[in-house]
């Protein structure tokens, strides 16, 4: 990088408006597509001057990135304060904070019936906590009546919303946008639409993608299911056929650039490389034929269940799983897509981001992530 400012990490950690960035020796912000987002902040308190300041319930905001580009990566409240002393001259304070969704896990579990569309039910629940709604976009968006309510049984609101999201193919989360934390519940299909957040490239050596370990496990792909139940009003069997099979993966193909490099190396390596791909392409069994399939029987008498259970999770259709470490980027967020290049051709393309850990240590910034496809 030509400009020295581009190599300088930026950090601002504010507790109720007081900036503790100068004392921060380590910061970890975990962004997850299913769990409550969390921040862990380690402060150096050599003189014992700040140990009495942070308290549970106080607001915390973490602005992280590079001097040329940074953003608020976490906004929440302290849930735990850990104070440690190592002799007279060494003290350390660790703050653990959760985002605004943590409020929905407070209090006693609830048992109640909800009526109306799923989106209206979700909006009403969120409104009880005065959390601004950023977006509620669901497909399907079923409607529940007094005869067939959406029942919340001995569950706290956040757990109930997560269950509803999993059942109806959506993700529910809190995101900091336009200066405030907002609530979102968006269908998985919607999250997978549009362009990726950015691109990570692995070229070896010092690059955006420092490490990337990925594997294909066809059996771990989202299962293709057919479902059968009984219509409670007519007694007839209701069958939901499996959804259309995913588009077959392209036949493995050689990379002309790699073939040229191997040709120059001599020994017929280029020809062997091309021939190997030709042979692999003749395989009778394809990866998509190994994905799990099942018929679900004995369901409760709810005619909407077969259709729901046959939906395929678009975030893990191919059964690919990857974990990596990249030079820190504020554009890498869970619940979105990232394009990964510079790897084998069957794995290149858009991946769904399940989890990101934004890490600040030794005045540097890294992003560790988990992706599926």
Share of the chain above pLDDT 70, in %: 79
Q: Average the pLDDT over 64-82 and give the result.
A: 95
Task: Mark out the alpha helices in 87-156 (DSSP H runs).
Answer: 118-127
CA terminus-to-terminus distance, the chain: 32
Query: Are 144 and 185 part of one and the same domain?
Result: yes
**Last-in-domain residue among 44, 69, 103:** 103
Please give the residue range of the domain that contains residue 40: 4-103
- Is residue 217, in this structure, part of any structural domain at all? no
Residues belonging to the chain: 373
Whether 140 and 98 map to the same domain: the answer is no
Query: Mean of the pLDDT values across residues 120-132?
Result: 96
Question: Any idea which of 167-176, 216-225, 269-278, 360-369 has the lowest mean pLDDT?
Answer: 216-225
Q: Domain containing 145 — which CATH number?
A: 3.55.50.10
Give the pLDDT confidence score for residue 255 in this predicted structure.
76
Query: What pTM does this model have?
Result: 0.81
Q: How far is the C-alpha of 356 from the C-alpha of 196, rounded, in Å?
A: 15
Q: 321 lies in a domain? A: no
Same domain, 113 and 38: no
Number of domains in the chain: 2
The reported pLDDT for the residue numbered 355 is: 96
Give the tens place of pLDDT for each residue, 257-306. 777 888 888 888 878 878 877 777 677 666 666 666 655 555 555 556 65
Average pLDDT, the chain: 84
258 occurs within a structural domain = no
51, 81: one domain: yes
Q: Are residues 88 and 128 in the same domain?
A: no
Task: Kindly state whether residue 294 falls inside one of the protein's structural domains.
Answer: no
Nearest-angstrom CA–CA distance, 25 and 21: 8
Q: What is the pLDDT of residues 7-34, one digit of tens each?
A: 789 999 999 999 999 999 999 999 999 9
Q: What are phi and psi of 304, to 5 degrees?
A: -85, -20
CA dihedral 95, 99, 103, 108 (to 10 degrees): -70
């Amino acid at each position: 990088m030509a400009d020295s400012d581009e190599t300088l990490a930026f950090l601002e950690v504010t507790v109720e408006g007081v900036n503790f960035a100068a004392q921060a020796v380590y910061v970890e912000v975990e962004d997850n597509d299913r769990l409550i987002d969390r921040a862990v902040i380690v402060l150096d308190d050599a003189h014992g001057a700040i140990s009495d300041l942070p308290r549970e319930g106080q607001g915390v905001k973490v602005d992280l990135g590079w001097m040329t580009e940074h953003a608020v990566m976490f906004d929440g409240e302290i849930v735990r304060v850990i104070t440690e002393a190592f002799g007279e001259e060494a003290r350390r304070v660790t703050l653990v904070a959760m985002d605004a969704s943590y409020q929905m896990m407070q209090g006693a579990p609830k048992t109640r019936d909800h009526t109306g569309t799923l989106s209206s039910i979700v909006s009403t629940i969120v409104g009880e906590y005065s959390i601004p709604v950023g977006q509620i976009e669901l497909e399907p968006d079923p409607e529940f009546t007094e005869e067939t309510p959406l029942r919340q049984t001995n569950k706290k609101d956040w757990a109930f919303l997560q269950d509803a999201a999993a059942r109806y193919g959506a993700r529910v989360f809190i995101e900091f946008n336009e200066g405030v934390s907002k609530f979102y519940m968006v269908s998985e299909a919607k999250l997978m639409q549009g362009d990726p957040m950015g691109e990570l490239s692995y070229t070896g050596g010092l690059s955006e993608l420092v490490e990337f370990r990925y594997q294909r496990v066809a059996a771990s792909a989202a299962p293709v299911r057919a479902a059968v139940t009984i219509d409670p009003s007519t007694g007839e069997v209701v069958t939901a056929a499996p959804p259309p099979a995913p588009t077959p993966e392209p036949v493995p193909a050689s990379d002309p650039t790699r073939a040229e490099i191997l040709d120059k190396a001599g020994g017929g390596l280029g020809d062997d490389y091309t021939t190997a791909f030709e042979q692999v392409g003749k395989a009778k069994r394809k990866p998509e034929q190994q994905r799990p399939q099942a018929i679900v029987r004995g369901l409760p008498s709810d005619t909407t269940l077969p259709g729901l259970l046959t939906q395929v999770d678009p975030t893990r259709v191919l059964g690919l799983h990857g974990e990596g470490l990249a030079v820190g980027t504020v554009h890498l967020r869970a619940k979105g897509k990232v394009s990964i290049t510079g790897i084998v051709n069957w794995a290149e393309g858009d991946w769904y981001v399940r989890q990101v850990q934004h890490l600040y240590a030794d005045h540097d910034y890294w992003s560790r992530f988990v992706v599926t496809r």
